[in-house]
Amino acid sequence: MSATAKPFVAGQARDSVAGQARENAAASRKGVDALSALTMLVRDDLEACNRLIVERMQSDVSLIPQLAAHIVAAGGKRLRPLLTLAAARLCGYRGQRHVGLAACVEFIHTATLLHDDVVDESALRRGQASANALFGNKASVLVGDFLFSRAFEVMVEDGSLEVLRILSSASSTIAEGEVLQLITQNDTTTTEAQYLKVIEGKTAALFAAATEVGAVVADQPPAGQAALRDFGMALGVAFQLVDDALDYSADQQALGKTVGDDFREGKITLPVLLAFARGSDEERIFWRRTLEEREQADSDLGQALALMRRHGALDDTIERARLYGDHAIAALAGFPDVAEKKALADVVAFCIERAH
């Protein structure tokens, strides 16, 4: 552990944590690009991670690197590997294991994107044609499988059974979350508890694993590992809540995918659940027709958005995301006040305030 970094201190005072979160949010609204700041903070590590990603996605089967390069070059935020790199540095780690594990996290994430786009029949990914739109569903699924396999190869090379347990468990949980979403899709009787279980599985589990393995390589005590796992889980839930609100309210170019996809696919997200619960009987008939029976006219997306605004569903979804963001920042309280801690807290606000 470095001379400047201190170990996690369980039970450190958490007063004013929510206030700090609000200050971070205000800074984000003023245009402070927290993600860029975090990227600069771990720039050398991220460059090493990117080199490893390019190296390990190579194959003698030419379609594999071609398709993988398409989605990698599409300009993702690299948020999840950034979390691994920053978490390790926050804990005082000064080795190189976290670089390989950050690449593992990105491979898992990219593989799930390839699979998700096939399942969702998505035409856009990060503002460009999705891999399945260009290369077909079969190729996308198989290259996704290849990237999953590459991730596990790098995990095994790391040699830690604990790391292998965390990342393999996250991979299973992601798959369970996607299947649970498939089961609840088009079902307006879905509860908020079921919805949260879906997003904890399909999104937040990888955020949690990404930060937890950073603590593991730094030999943090169990309390420190749990704190960073909690941070990642809360951030992941907040991130997905914002995504679900943006699907109804964002500019398509800024969002990087087709606005209204969730509605057209009949996905049951928190904005829908809130609007449905607060709506009249007539409005619930609308939701059942469009989401359960999938009978949709061109004007129905606009009607759905109007109902959400009438009942405050989008604003309340973002407010719920802020509460999870507060929880994420609170989880960092026991760590030393180093640059990585501030950068991670700022990223929480950045992820939430992108809704504005």
- Does 190 have pLDDT greater than 70? yes
Q: Which residue has the tokens 């809130």?
A: 274
Residues 268-288 have a mean pLDDT of 97
Distance between CA atoms of 4 and 2, rounded to whole angstroms? 5
For the record, the structure tokens of 307 come out as 């109902």
Distance between CA atoms of 154 and 174, rounded to whole angstroms? 19
The pLDDT confidence band at residue 28, using thresholds 50, 70 and 90, is very low
CATH architecture of the domain 17-353 equals: Orthogonal Bundle (1.10)
- For residue 137, give every residue at least 6 positions away whose Cβ sits within 8 Å of its Cβ, in sequence order, or none: 118
pTM (two decimals): 0.90
For the record, the structure tokens of 259 come out as 């606005």
Distance between CA atoms of 31 and 117, rounded to whole angstroms? 31
Question: Which candidate, 188, 108, 192, 180, places its Cα nearest to that of 150?
Answer: 108
**3-state DSSP call for residue 8?**
coil
**The dihedral of CA 270, 305, 120, 241: what is its sign?**
negative
Q: Which amino acid is present at 236?
A: G
- For residue 264, give every residue at least 6 positions away whose Cβ sits within 8 Å of its Cβ, in sequence order, or none: 296, 301
Residues 65-86 have a mean pLDDT of 86
- Does 285 have pLDDT greater than 90? yes
Residues 45-72 have a mean pLDDT of 92
Question: Which candidate, 58, 159, 144, 141, places its Cα nearest to that of 101?
Answer: 159
For the record, the structure tokens of 355 come out as 């809704």
Other CB atoms within a 10 A radius of the CB of residue 197 amount to: 16
Bridging pattern class, strands 124-125 and 128-129: antiparallel
**Cβ proximity of 91 and 224 under 8 Å:** yes
For the record, the structure tokens of 332 come out as 């960092």
**Cβ proximity of 87 and 211 under 8 Å:** yes
**Cβ proximity of 69 and 57 under 8 Å:** yes
The pLDDT confidence band at residue 11, using thresholds 50, 70 and 90, is low
The DSSP call for residue 96 is S
DSSP of 113-149: HHHHHHHHT-SEETTEE-HHHHH-HHHHHHHHHHHHH
Can you name the residues that pair with 124 across neighbouring β-strands? 129
- For residue 134, give every residue at least 6 positions away whose Cβ sits within 8 Å of its Cβ, in sequence order, or none: 70
pLDDT tens, position by position, 111-132: 999 998 888 777 766 667 788 8
- Does 240 have pLDDT greater than 50? yes
Q: How far is CA 130 from CA 124, 206, 272, in A?
A: 5, 22, 26
